Amino acid sequence: MTISTRQTSMRTHMCGEIGTSDIGQTVTVCGWVAKRREHGDKLAFVDLRDYSGIVQCVIDNAVDVRSEYVVKITGVVRPRPEGTVNVNLSTGEVEIGECLVEVLRSAEPPPFPVDARADDVDENVRLQYRYIDIRRERMQKNLRTRAKVNSAVRTAMESQGFVEVETPMLVPSTPEGAREFLVPSRKEPGSFYALPQSPQLFKQLLMVAGIDRYYQIARCLRDEDLRADRQYEFMQLDAEMSFVNQDDVLAAISAAVIAAAESVTGVKPDPIQQITWREAMERFGVDKPDLRFGMELTELTAIFSSTEFKAFAGAESIKGIRVEGKAEEFGRNKLDALTDRAKKMGAKGLVWLKVTTDGTLESPVVKFLSANEQSQLISTLQAQAGDLLLIVADKWSMTCEVLGTLRNELGRPPVHQGPYRYVWVTEFPLFVGVDKETGQPKPGHHPFCQPHPDDLDKFSSDPMSVRSLAYDLVLNGWELGSGSIRIHEPEMQRRVFTALGISEDEANRKFGFFLKPFTYGAPPHGGFAFGLDRLVAILAGEENIREVIAFPKTQSGQDPMTNAPTRAENKQLDELGIRVLPPKV
């Protein structure tokens, strides 16, 4: 007899655990009625379901049990009659007979069948009745996958000497980039806490405090527009380490990610490769590259250095991609749509060429290209008959952005499909773009990233070319998270603040509570945080993180089950000193 690890005073087995080794044994199972099928006047077949699976029970037809009733069934395990084995069930070779049924709770008909495909039920309805939705096999699997990942991450971090420390949920408002949720203070009307976008400041303070290696599976909140890979509240592995360099941080986080993946898939991923931000942009056009497919960007500027084609002449950068074997699929309407897409992204245009069966190029622009340019183009892009070539000539950043976007749109498979391709992207720019209002550079990640030591001589003369010791972890084109080696020296922090246009007074006002502890001895340190929701979604085979969160919000930020957000009563608002203005007409 199989001894269940889930034995209780009410049941001896889980439904999905019963097998041929239990034949002849009396067992008790509890669960929900998945289906009832009449078998003549005297007998009925009931499929009983719990999270582990389904078992068929043969009961007296007079017993009143219906869909989603919660019941307890005691009976004898026996082989199914010849010809009735269900190969689609783990329990399909057996059934429970001679059943005694106890109804623990009757149930109203559910708003949708529990065995319905998610796509066949409106998502708002699924979320309104999430407690029903979670009964589905797929949701049960997803939430248990999430638990496996959390457990594996904790084990991996603790085995490396990390200590779990909880950080506050009511924090001061800080300019970390995303819009914050504010919480009014009843004790100090007009003052507000913020909900943490991340534990960033506190985990660095823990390094000043000598914790040495901190981690937390932390809840973070950001008031941002929602999408498939974003929720208002999300969970991340948050970590910080003292007396380390970048490679130390990447190794520690890689160990946790690899352990998490192996706990779900049963296969240990290969060591995670690294590429620089510059290489990612040159090859893939984006800073979160998807390595599962080719169609990489190719540099073509040298080929057209002396071209007479005006669209290419004098361009800072000319790049192209080869869409393998797809030329026939792109008629003029589709090609015009690609050109319009490129222009909407800011490019001057898009040049397309098709490779014909005899190996020549076909395009309205061919007449403007010399025979040598055409030959080099085919050779450099390794073009074959039937290929479509797409070329952009513009500023370097624009050629990367446009072709990187088109590459993803034309070739990228669903995020969970195919192999899991992890990649570390390193050496991000310290500054990105210029603030239109102040004219000052904007931080690439945040103002506390350590500049790359090899670029310090460029700090004053060419700040936009300075790299940082910042890094992202990417899986199948989804950014899982980011981190950096932090600034721990006051002089370097002042240089970065000055470059960002942050005065000493402003720095003290915004970050004083954070910077002052550093004057008492801060070790060199660095850290990282990655989104557990995103990792779990990919490992569970989902395109949307809502499918791996027990009680998520809709894309509009609503909770159909609880009706949140709801209006507060005037009495509550009065206590908080808040006055709600009438809506603008």
Domain end among 105, 140, 156: 105
In this prediction, residue 5 carries a pLDDT of 57
**Does residue 201 register a pLDDT over 90?**
no
422 in a domain, yes or no? Answer: no
CA distance 507 to 208: 19
Task: Determine the Cα–Cα distance for residues 203 and 439; give it in Å rounded to an integer.
Answer: 31
- In this structure, the answer to whether residues 99 and 150 fall within a common structural domain is no
Q: Kindly state the average pLDDT of the residues 283-291.
A: 97
Nearest CA to 563 out of 265, 130, 74, 176 is that of: 130
pLDDT at 347: 95
Between 437 and 52, where is the model more confident?
52
Query: pTM of the entire structure?
Result: 0.91
The b/e string for 9-43 (b: 16+ C-beta within 10 A; e otherwise) is eebbbbbbbbbeebeeeebbbbbbbbebeeeeeee
Whichever domain contains 59, its CATH number is 2.40.50.140
pLDDT tens column, 373-404: 999 999 999 999 999 999 999 999 999 999 99
| pLDDT score at 84 | 94
pLDDT at 536: 97
Same domain, yes or no: 154 and 187:
yes
- Give yes or no for residue 118 having a pLDDT over 90: no
Selected residue with higher pLDDT from 3 and 585:
585
Structure tokens at 407: 């590459």
User: Binning pLDDT at 50, 70 and 90, where does residue 175 land?
Assistant: low
Average pLDDT over residues 189-203: 92
Give the CATH number for residue 327.
3.30.1360.30
In a domain, 528, yes or no: yes
In this predicted structure, the answer to whether residue 1 has a pLDDT above a threshold of 50 is no
Q: Which of 529, 530, 523 is nearest to 450 (CA)?
A: 523
Q: Indicate whether 3 belongs to any domain.
A: no
Please check whether residues 225 and 298 belong to one and the same domain: no
Same domain membership, residue 536 and residue 399? no
- Domain-located, residue 142: yes
Q: How far, CA to CA in Å, does 147 sit from each of 215, 257, 263, 304, 548?
A: 17, 14, 10, 55, 10
Structure confidence by residue, pLDDT tens digits, 42-94: 899 999 999 999 999 999 998 999 999 999 999 999 999 999 999 999 999 99
Cβ contact 408:290 at 8 Å: yes
Q: List beta partners, residue 76.
A: 26, 97
Residue 558: name the closest of 576, 573, 546 by CA.
546
- With residue 150 as reference, give the H or E element that holds it: helix 137-159
3-state secondary structure of 516: helix
Give the three-class secondary structure for 273: strand
The predicted pLDDT at position 447 comes to 86
Domain range for residue 186?
116-268+476-486+524-585
Mark whether 401 and 334 lie in a shared domain: yes
From the list 306, 329, 330, the residue with the least C-alpha distance to 318 is 306
Q: How far apart are CA 320 and CA 383, in angstroms?
A: 11
Confidence category of residue 500, pLDDT binned at 50, 70, 90: confident
User: 30-34, 222-226, 580-584: which range is least confident on average?
Assistant: 580-584
Across the chain, what does the average pLDDT equal? 93
- Specify the 3-state DSSP secondary structure of 378: helix
Determine, yes or no, domain membership for 385.
yes
Quick check: is 184 in a domain?
yes
pLDDT band at residue 2 under the 50/70/90 scheme:
very low
Looking at 76, 105, 134, the residue that finishes a domain is 105
Q: What is the pLDDT, as a whole number, of residue 439?
A: 77
Instruction: Identify whether 420 is part of a domain.
Output: no
pLDDT digits (tens, 9 = 90+) for 250-269: 999 999 999 999 999 999 99
Q: Are residues 231 and 153 in the same domain?
A: yes
Summarised one tens digit per residue, pLDDT across range 478-487 is 999 999 999 9
Same domain for 96 and 142?
A: no
Of all residues in the chain, the percent with pLDDT exceeding 70 is 98
Residue 228: per-residue pLDDT:
87
Q: How many residues does the chain have?
A: 585
Q: The domain spanning residue 534 has which CATH number? A: 3.30.930.10
For the cut 80, the answer to whether the pLDDT of residue 208 exceeds it is yes
Give the residue from 366, 392, 411 where a domain finishes: 411
Would you place residue 177 in the very low, low, confident or very high pLDDT band (cuts 50, 70, 90)?
low
Is residue 169 located within the same domain as residue 93? Answer: no
Residue 184 has pLDDT above 70, yes or no: yes
Structural domain count, the chain: 3
| Nearest to 463, CA basis, from 496, 512, 426 | 496
- Tell whether 365 and 482 lie within a shared domain: no
State yes or no: pLDDT of 176 exceeds 80: no
Residue 460 clears pLDDT 60, i.e. is over it: yes
Q: Which residues contact 306 (CB under 8 A, 6 or more apart)?
A: none
Residues 240 and 311 in one domain: no
Q: How much is the average pLDDT of 515-527?
A: 93
Q: What pLDDT does 4 receive?
A: 52
CA distance 104 to 30: 9
Residue type, 194: A
CB 431 within 8 A of CB 385: no
Cβ within 8 Å of residue 498, ≥6 positions away: none
Helices 490-499, 504-515: inter-axial angle, 10-degree rounding: 140
Residue 470 forms part of a structural domain: no
Using an 8 Å Cβ cutoff, are 306 and 458 in contact?
Answer: no
For residue 83, the model assigns a pLDDT of: 93
Are 239 and 340 in a shared domain? Answer: no
Bridge partners, residue 429, by sequence:
467
Q: Are 101 and 121 found together in one domain? A: no
The one-character DSSP state at 458 is G
Q: Is 235 helix (H, G, I), strand (E, B) or coil?
A: strand
* Per-residue tokens: 257: 């990610």
